Chain A
């Protein structure tokens, strides 16, 4: 019988859980977070267990990560916790063994993580206390433009004359976008400027940590095709892709660490 390991990642906007058997991902689930991180952890864990037909007791060892990681462990839903920085590095490098740099952009933070050939953390940088360069920035801009978050990326590709945003601050950007809308600017041109601004902000972090090839993206913002494209242009290389949802990489990393701690292969 396979030995199973769990990873739970409770972030600021979404929560994920991954079940790993000794060789591969047995199941994964993702939900929007609830007000209490413990409720998020329980719900997402139950979702993945239901999907895989397992009981909580079937998991040999579970590791939590993300903002709720300590509480989740204290409640006994996990046996250890790790930072989301290690988790994303570990998960991405397992998916793509050639990866040495991971750009993880979540709901409320952005990180650039450098890992070695084992997926162990070599260096990292995280954004300061500011929404600029995080998923929240894109959410605010999408709402201001009156489009869905998932539309913001594809909309950029329709831009004919991308505009310039003169600031990186989310609040001032929102004012500037409103100003462009009042002047009758095309939404696609504004969306292109929003995505470019986002990528430029993240590039400042990439420069601080010093990117090494191969480079990939994780987190919710990795789903924004325009931000990816802009980052590829700024980096001068293609970001490598993988086969799973970019939002489960943190939970996957936690499950991989659970496997290491729990004596799996």
Chain B
């Protein structure tokens, strides 16, 4: 397989260079509630913002507090350093308050030409659906007006169809670990998941074809125990690889750069934007959603049942209150079901933290008798 981790380690990657040569506009987004099909349909390259495990955040700290999540501070740091200067625009959501702080300080201190805010409802009901459809219409109109493009229903349907194909392929790689033999590591899967947001749809689809053709011929990985990971937004590929180095094969995750990318089918009838709104809003497995713990728990239960981990490791970034609280409840509920759980609070991206985290994960494997 091509070196997915290396490809994922570059911010302005080869896809960005190619897009710039073609004159394709690149729009930065961060939250999984952002329907990338709308950008795909308009001929844009939607690029998902990452923190790249950056830990020196002195520029960002002048705008955000040290009590903000490290992931958001790292993203802002990169933006202020100019690492994301290839963006033609930014699309913000109210994913969480830390994320909003990141976007709004970014736009204030280092503005991009286009900036749009999608107000994502916190509830899932008919009223919130109507609201979200309107929000997506506003996004489409804003893109059309600013960039002087037209996004038709046919464009949207074609983009949705392509994303459907991509999801099918990605799911095949992701779920390949659910048998006894694991041929793709958790670090590689996380790299692939980050590439999903940093390559245009057609390119990512081709990349998946290569992965699907290559991985079955690999020898199975040697592992002591199967692990599922969950928790805060993280793109820390090296962290996952380091944790796997003590003998745990990551077979599933509920990260937002991970298992949460998969969404159920959208309704097959109705206008494309309403179908998209339904698909995104009703499949947002994020603790920022109100009154929705049961659905998130069912999503995790389903992952556990199908991927058969020996234990679950739940992370949260320091100061990530949403996942900090959610992880306590999840740990208590999963342990009641007899699923061993390890919860870890960590600094985002801190290499110095790895030894401390590895000790705990190794002890967890030993606790599992592995």
Contact = CB atoms under 8 A, between A and B. Distances in A.
A68 to B, nearest CB: 10
Interface stretch (A54-62, A122-130, A164-172, A240-248): A122-130
Interface string A69-85: 00000000000001111
Contact of B359 (A83, A121, A123): A83
A94 interface: no
A232 to B, nearest CB: 26
B366 interface: yes
A180 interface: no
Contacts of B369: 120
Contact of A128 (B345, B355, B363): B345
Interface string A144-168: 0000000000000000000000000
A256 B142 CA distance: 68
B362 A123 contact: no
A126 B357 CA distance: 10
B351 to A, nearest CB: 13
Interface residues of B, number: 12
Interface of B: 345, 347, 353, 355-356, 359-360, 362-363, 366-367, 369
B362 A83 contact: yes
Give the contact-size bracket for chain A: 10 to 19
- What DSSP secondary structure best describes chain B's contact surface? helix
A78 B284 CA distance: 48
Ranked nearest first, the 3 interchain pairs of A and B with the lowest CB-CB distance are A85-B363, A83-B363, A121-B367
Given A126-B359, A126-B360, A129-B353, A85 B345 contact: no
Contact of A83 (B345, B353, B366): B366
B347 A85 contact: no
* Most-contacted residue by chain A among B355, B356, B366 (CB, 10 A): B366
Interface of A: 67, 82-86, 109, 120-124, 126, 128-129
Given A85-B359, A121-B363, A124-B367, 18 more contacts: A67-B355, A67-B359, A83-B366, A84-B359, A85-B360, A86-B363, A86-B366, A86-B367, A109-B356, A120-B367, A122-B367, A123-B367, A124-B363, A126-B359, A128-B345, A129-B347, A129-B353, A129-B356
A121 B356 contact: no
* Most-contacted residue by chain A among B347, B353, B363 (CB, 10 A): B363
B340 to A, nearest CB: 9
15 contacts: A67-B355, A82-B366, A83-B359, A85-B359, A85-B360, A86-B366, A122-B367, A123-B367, A124-B363, A124-B367, A126-B356, A126-B360, A128-B345, A129-B347, A129-B353
A126 B360 CA distance: 8
Contacts of A124: 363, 367
Contact of A82 (B353, B355, B362): B362
* Most-contacted residue by chain A among B345, B353, B356, B359 (CB, 10 A): B359
Contacts of B347: 129
Contacts of B356: 109, 126, 129
